[in-house]
Every structure is written in C-alpha cells, then in structure tokens.
A = this chain, B = another copy of it.
Amino acid sequence: MFRKRHPPTGAQPGTLVIAADALAPQFRVMRYKPSSLHEQDVGRYSDLSKSLSDDTVSWIDVQGLGDEVALRSIASQFHMHPLALEDVVNVPQRPKLERFDDQLLIILRMTRPPKGRRFDSEQISIVVGPNYVITLQEKYGDVFNPVRARIRQGGPIFRSSGTAYLVYALLDAVIDGYYPLLESYGHSMDELEETITTNPQPAALTQLHRLRKDFSSMRRAIWPVREVISELARDETPLITERARQHLRDCQDHCVQIIDVVEIFREMASSLMDLHLSTLANKQNEVMKTLTIMASVFIPLTFIAGIYGMNFENMPELGVAWAYPAVLGLMAFLGALMMALFWFNGWLGGAKKEE
C-alpha cells in the first residue's frame, strides 16, 4: 500500500505517472444553493469551470485518473498548482494539507470495502476553492453516498453553509469509514485470542502477523489525518468558516479515538504473540512430561526383564520357583515408586506446591 507510484528519479516536478490500466475518469457534478440542486453526470470535461457561480456550491466528483489530458484540463480550469496535480495523481501520498493562494488541497486515505478482512484503502484528494470542491480518486466507488443523500434531502443547514460545510461532511464520512473496519478487526482479535488460548496453530500466527501489518498501515494512514484536521480547524483561511471549525473539532475527536483503538490493537497483538509463545511452551512441557514419565517408568523395568533374559548357564535365580512372581512384584513396586515420585513432584497434577 505504501509503495508510491513514483516518476522516474529526478523527473520534472509535475510529471504525472499514469498506469496503463488506470480507469477512465467519470465526472459527476452536484451544484446546489438553498433553493435548488442541479445534479449531472458530465461527459465533456472542458466546460466544468464555466458553470461555477458565486451563490452556488459545486461539488465536482472525479473517479478514475486514467486520462492525462482530462486531468490537465481540469487543473488549468481551476488554476491548480502543478505540484498539487502531481500529488493527486501520483498516489499514494501521505495524508496532508497543502495551502495554495486561494485553494486548499486535502489528501486523505479513504477506506474501501475490505477484501477478506484485510485493510484496503485508497487516496482521496479534496481540492477546496471559494465556491467549488473537487474530489479526485483512483477507483470507482466511495464512502460519500450519505453525503449525497443529505444534499438531495436539502436540509436547511447543509445547502446554505458553503463549501466549508461540504468539506467537513466529506472528512467526516472518510473518518467514519474506519469504524466498521475497527469493529471487524476487533472480532478478528477476539477470535484469535480464543484460538491461541485453546489450540495454538501456525495459521493463527500468520494471521496475527498479517493483523500487525494492517495495524501498522492503518496507523500510518490515520495518524497524519489528526494533524490535517487540526491545521484545518486552526487555519486562518477564509475558506473555513467559524461554524465549520466547531464541526471539524468534533471530527478530530473521532480521529483521535480511532488512533486510540489502533494503538490498543497493536498492544494486544503484541501481547497475543507473547501469549502464543507461552501457550506453546506450556503444551510442549506437557508433551515432554508425558514422554519422560513413560520412559522413566518402563525403561528400568525393561532392563530388569533384559537381565533375566540373559542366557548364562549359571543363573541360580532362574531355577527358584517363586523367583518369577517375585520379579514381577519387584517390577510393579518400582513402577509404582516412579509414579509416586512424579506425583510428588507435581508432574501428575498433585503435590509439590512448596517449591
């Protein structure tokens, strides 16, 4: 996840690296003011900036980054800095907030539907201008449907609160997207704990290692977001209204809470690894004890049987009538003695508390 699709070393800044299998961009525009909403799937990208107006907010949603001409056209229509465009296209970048003259660029990692419980995410770039917001992402599909629904509903607050509120809503949706993921990881951890305690299997180990990897990735994805939102809430820029700042602080609390949970998961994963090792050592101890008991009881007895199996001519005991039962008795006694010793040492679950 953290391998950057980077331009050739030392290339000109602003060089875009577009993979051969990149998806063709789809454009969707929502333009709204308190009294109206205009929603449109746009085919031609060359007129996107023309329909901006001061009393509406335009949300231009670009999914798929596979067409350099289109991307450069958008960048020039909205006066994006070449480095901003590079950050948008050459994913993944670290989550960050970049300030330009009359624009903000916010880069975040948005969760995607998990594949087989693994953490999956992609970069979402949000370009914020005075009366427009552009979101750009590589793949189709996002976590913003609830935001769209709220715009359509046309609640009094949303449509009259400008771009700042839209930005907040998008950030909030991205951050809320982590909660179901955390829940799923919580279940995985509980199951693993169960498995490891009762029946430590190699498979559990590998799964634990994968979880640790995911937690590492999540941590790196969510930590900088805290800073991004905090900067946004403190920023002097007129693009963020006072009202939105209050909401952003709430958003930041959620972000910190997610960080907390990820940290707890990391600690637990490390504790589980210890638990696994100890459980294994315990099991091995059991196995060793079994072996030792069996061997220690029977090896001496077999030795005795071996003695009387020797073929010396002069072995007077062999002729004694009660010798056989006597030897059998001796064997039984020795076996019992060994077992008693082991019991006394606590190997059979008895005695030996005082060590």
Residues on A facing B (Cβ under 8 Å)? 2-4, 6-13, 81, 83, 86-87, 93-94, 96, 98, 143-147, 150, 155, 158, 169, 172-173, 176-177, 179-180, 182-183, 186, 193, 197-202, 205-206, 209, 212-213, 216-217, 220, 246-247, 249-250, 253-254, 256-257, 260-261, 263-264, 267-268, 271-285, 287-292, 294-296, 298-303, 305-315, 317-324, 327-328, 331, 346-347, 353-355
Report 7 cross-chain contacts, Cβ distance below 8 Å, ordered by A residue. A9-B176, A87-B250, A87-B253, A299-B299, A301-B303, A306-B306, A311-B315
> Of B150, B312, B320, which one neighbours A308 at CB under 8 angstroms?
B312
> Of B10, B13, B298, B312, which one neighbours A318 at CB under 8 angstroms?
B312
With contact pairs A2-B264, A246-B83, A303-B298 given, residues A8 and B146 touching in the complex (Cβ less than 8 Å):
yes
Number of copies of this chain that the complex holds:
5
Distance in angstroms between the alpha carbons of A18 and B354 in the assembled complex: 38
Kindly list the 3 A-B residue pairs having the minimum CB-CB distance in the complex, ordered from nearest.
A10-B146, A305-B306, A10-B173
Which B residue sits closest to A321, measured CB to CB? Answer: B314
> Of B246, B281, B355, which one neighbours A280 at CB under 8 angstroms?
B281
Cβ-defined contact, A256 with B323, below 8 A: no
A247 to chain B, nearest CB (A): 6
Cβ-defined contact, A3 with B186, below 8 A: yes
Q: Which residues of B contact A277 (CB under 8 A)?
A: 274, 277-278, 281
Q: Which residues of B contact A322 (CB under 8 A)?
A: 314
> Of B93, B169, B314, B327, which one neighbours A310 at CB under 8 angstroms?
B327
A305 to chain B, nearest CB (A): 3
> Of B10, B278, B281, which one neighbours A172 at CB under 8 angstroms?
B10
Distance in angstroms between the alpha carbons of A280 and B320 in the assembled complex: 49
Cβ-defined contact, B305 with A294, below 8 A: no
Cβ-defined contact, A264 with B6, below 8 A: no
Cβ-defined contact, A294 with B284, below 8 A: no
Cβ-defined contact, A9 with B318, below 8 A: no
Q: Which residues of B contact A300 (CB under 8 A)?
A: 294, 298
Which of the listed residues A86, A176, A256, A278 has the most CB atoms from chain B within 10 Å of its own CB? A278
Q: Which residues of B contact A289 (CB under 8 A)?
A: 287
A314 to chain B, nearest CB (A): 5
> Of B201, B295, B310, which one neighbours A324 at CB under 8 angstroms?
B310
With contact pairs A176-B6, A305-B303, A305-B310 given, residues A93 and B146 touching in the complex (Cβ less than 8 Å):
no
Cβ-defined contact, B9 with A177, below 8 A: yes
With contact pairs A220-B264, A288-B284 given, residues A9 and B146 touching in the complex (Cβ less than 8 Å):
yes
Cβ-defined contact, B209 with A275, below 8 A: yes
Cβ-defined contact, B324 with A312, below 8 A: yes
> Of B216, B246, B355, which one neighbours A198 at CB under 8 angstroms?
B355
A178 to chain B, nearest CB (A): 9
